[in-house]
Structure 1
Amino acid sequence: MPYRPPFQLIRRLAMVASLLVAVTIAYLSLMPADEGAAPVFTDKVNHFLAYAGLAAPLTLALHPKRWVSAVIVATVYGIGLEFGQAMGDAGREGSMLDAAANFLGALFGAALIRFSAGLR
């Protein structure tokens, strides 16, 4: 029979992963803006993928049945960073479209874990 680590260990590792992803997102979101012009929706795809990558381990850390909580936490975090961009002087602007991409990414990442976990 293959070894299955206890769920508590998985949750702890998922929390560490969530924190690492959150710190990485904050760094990338608040660093000075790059002067190069990116294709129109590349930025939104990046936001979607980043917040899917945040919400997925966060869902495991909280528990897959609490996937909506993970979406809320990730979305509020994203909105906070958008406000930080708007108030900062790094040449960045807060964007409602970025916040929407953050929400959709968080929803996708959390739902992916929730519905692939086989919970009823």
Structure 2
Amino acid sequence: MGRDAKVLSNLKNLKELFIYEFRLKKFPTELLSLKNLTDLYLQGNKLEELPQELDNWNNLNYLYCMDCKNLQHIKGIPPNLSYLAIGGTLIREIPAKIHEHKSIRKLVISDFRIS
């Protein structure tokens, strides 16, 4: 994403970001400055993990990671998240931190084997 991520990081008032099938393998650290995001759509990327720093995204309500076929770990979950979609990933167990988040209202876990 390189230069595009740097441009996006300057959009401090951005509320929604759609990054569909961009072939991202790593979460762009430049995006961590977008503290006003409420909705983040990462469908179809090649991410392996979501960073711990997402714990600090207080405004994020909606995180859509469907069909991120390489996604194995969610290290950080935003505190006010109300919707999490992680179907079609390599995640094989519900993230342990999820029970701490009373704000989650909808969890999508299709193509998921609960052990």
Query: TM (normalized to structure 2)?
Result: 0.27
Between Structure 1 and Structure 2, which shows a larger proportion of helix residues? Answer: 1
- Structure showing greater radius of gyration is 1
